[in-house]
C-alpha cells in the first residue's frame, strides 16, 4: 500500500518575463484562459485527483493569488443583495475549505528546484504532486488524476511526459527511457535542457509530477544546474534506481501558457469545448482564417 496522495505544491514565484508588461503588477498565474485564472485550473485539477492540501510557493507581487482563494466578502454581499444567484453560486462552488491552502515565500527565484525546497515543511514525509500552473492540460481525465492512478499502482515517482520535436529538447527536462508498457515508460535518466544532439530521447517532462519526499535532501544540496538555477530535474535524477520512477504518456493535450502562442492556442481550445462559447468562436475563427490576408 502506498501512502495516499493528499498534497500539492504550486510553484508561482517566477517572474513571468515573457508576459511583460501584463505581469508587471499581476502574477502570470492570474492570467485567465477564457474566464478562469491559470492558478484555478491547477487547483481544480488537483482537487479532482483527491488532493486537499495545497501550498503555493509565492514571491513579491503575488498577493492577488492569495486573495483569489479567500472569500470576497463585499462582493458576495453585493451579489446576494442584487439577486445575482448564478455568480454567487460560482464563487461559492470554488471556495476552498478553511486551512486547506498555505503559502511560503521564495524570496529570490533561484529555480524550480529551489521553489520546491521552500515547501519542505509543508511536504514533510508525504508524497506530493507538483502542478506548474502555466502548463494547462485539456483531457478526459484530469492529468494529475492520471498520474495519481499510476502512483497508486506503482508507488515511487511519476511524471507526465510528452514527445517534443527534437530541435526543442533544449527547452525541457528530457528522459532517458527504459521499458515501455502501454502508456508507462520506465525512467532511466533525466537531463535538463540538453542540446538536441545530446538528448537521450525526445520525451519531455511537462509541468505535472507526483514525487516522494526523498527528493528534498537532494534539493538541499542547492547544486546549480542548467541556466545556473537549482533544477528539480537534477534532484529527481538522483532518485533513479532507488525507487520506482515512471513517465506517463498522459491522455490529453498540453498547452504551454507561459509562452504567448501557447497561451493563445489554449484560449481557442478551451473556448471550443464550452457549449456557451463554441458556436461564436467557430464563427469568428472561420472569418479570420478565410478573410484575413
- What is the smallest separation between the CB atom of 279 and ligand UTP, expressed in angstroms? 33
Residue 179 corresponds to which cell in the numbers above? 521499458
- Rank residues 79 and 122 by Cβ distance to ligand UTP and give the closer one: 122
- What is the smallest separation between the CB atom of 162 and ligand UTP, expressed in angstroms? 16
φ, ψ (nearest 5 deg) of residue 156? 70, -155
Residues at the contact surface with ligand UTP, assessed by CB under 6 A: 11-18, 28, 57, 106, 109-112, 114-115, 132-134, 258
- Rank residues 47 and 62 by Cβ distance to ligand UTP and give the closer one: 62
- What is the smallest separation between the CB atom of 51 and ligand UTP, expressed in angstroms? 17
- Rank residues 18 and 120 by Cβ distance to ligand UTP and give the closer one: 18
Query: Residue ranges of the alpha helices (H) in the chain?
Result: 38-47, 63-68, 73-81, 85-94, 112-118, 120-123, 143-154, 215-220, 232-237, 260-272, 278-291
Residue 39 corresponds to which cell in the numbers above? 492558478
- What is the smallest separation between the CB atom of 64 and ligand UTP, expressed in angstroms? 14
- What is the smallest separation between the CB atom of 281 and ligand UTP, expressed in angstroms? 27
**Do the Cβ atoms of 31 and 126 come closer than 8 Å?**
no
Q: Mention every residue, 6+ apart, whose C-beta is less than 8 A from residue 92.
A: 76
- Rank residues 134 and 234 by Cβ distance to ligand UTP and give the closer one: 134
- What is the smallest separation between the CB atom of 109 and ligand UTP, expressed in angstroms? 3
In the block, which residue shows the cell 515511487?
A: 156
Closest-CA residue to 207 (of 172, 167, 166, 156): 172
Closest-CA residue to 248 (of 124, 126, 129): 129
What is the rounded CA–CA span in Å between residue 250 and residue 140? 10
- Rank residues 15 and 226 by Cβ distance to ligand UTP and give the closer one: 15
- What is the smallest separation between the CB atom of 289 and ligand UTP, expressed in angstroms? 28
- Rank residues 79 and 215 by Cβ distance to ligand UTP and give the closer one: 215
Buried b (16+ CB within 10 A) or exposed e, 118-151: bbbebbeeebbbbbbbbbbbbeeebbbbbbbebb
- Rank residues 24 and 179 by Cβ distance to ligand UTP and give the closer one: 24
Residue 146 corresponds to which cell in the numbers above? 492520471
> What is the 3-state composition of the chain as percent helix, strand, coil, each rounded to the nearest 5?
40, 25, 35
Amino acid at each position: 500500500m502506498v501512502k495516499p496522495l493528499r498534497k500539492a505544491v504550486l510553484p508561482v514565484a517566477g517572474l513571468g518575463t515573457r508576459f511583460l508588461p501584463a505581469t508587471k503588477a499581476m502574477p502570470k498565474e492570474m492570467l485567465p484562459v477564457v474566464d478562469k485564472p491559470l492558478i484555478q485550473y491547477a487547483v481544480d485539477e488537483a482537487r479532482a485527483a483527491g488532493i486537499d492540501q495545497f501550498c503555493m510557493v509565492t514571491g513579491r507581487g503575488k498577493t492577488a493569488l492569495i486573495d483569489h482563494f479567500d472569500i470576497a466578502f463585499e462582493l458576495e454581499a453585493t451579489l446576494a443583495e442584487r439577486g445575482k444567484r448564478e455568480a454567487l453560486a460560482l464563487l461559492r462552488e470554488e471556495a476552498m475549505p478553511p486551512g486547506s491552502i498555505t503559502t511560503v515565500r521564495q524570496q529570490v527565484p533561484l529555480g524550480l528546484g529551489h521553489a520546491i525546497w521552500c515547501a519542505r515543511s509543508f511536504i514533510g514525509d508525504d508524497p506530493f504532486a507538483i502542478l506548474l500552473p502555466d502548463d494547462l492540460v485539456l483531457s478526459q481525465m484530469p492529468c494529475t488524476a492520471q498520474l495519481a492512478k499510476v502512483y497508486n499502482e506503482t508507488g515511487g515517482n511519476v511524471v507526465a511526459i510528452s514527445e517534443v520535436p527534437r530541435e526543442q529538447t533544449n527547452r525541457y527536462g528530457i528522459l532517458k527511457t527504459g521499458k515501455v508498457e502501454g502508456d508507462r515508460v520506465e525512467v532511466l535518466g533525466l537531463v535538463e535542457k540538453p542540446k538536441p544532439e545530446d538528448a537521450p530521447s525526445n520525451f519531455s517532462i511537462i509541468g505535472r509530477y507526483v514525487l516522494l519526499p526523498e527528493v528534498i535532501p537532494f534539493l538541499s544540496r542547492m547544486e546549480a544546474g542548467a541556466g545556473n538555477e537549482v533544477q528539480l530535474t537534477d534532484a529527481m535524477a538522483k532518485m533513479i534506481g532507488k525507487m520506482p520512477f515512471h513517465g506517463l504518456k498522459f491522455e490529453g493535450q498540453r498547452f504551454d501558457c507561459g509562452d504567448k502562442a501557447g497561451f493563445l492556442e489554449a484560449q481557442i481550445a478551451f473556448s471550443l469545448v464550452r457549449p456557451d462559447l463554441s458556436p461564436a468562436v467557430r464563427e469568428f475563427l472561420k472569418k479570420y482564417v478565410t478573410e484575413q490576408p
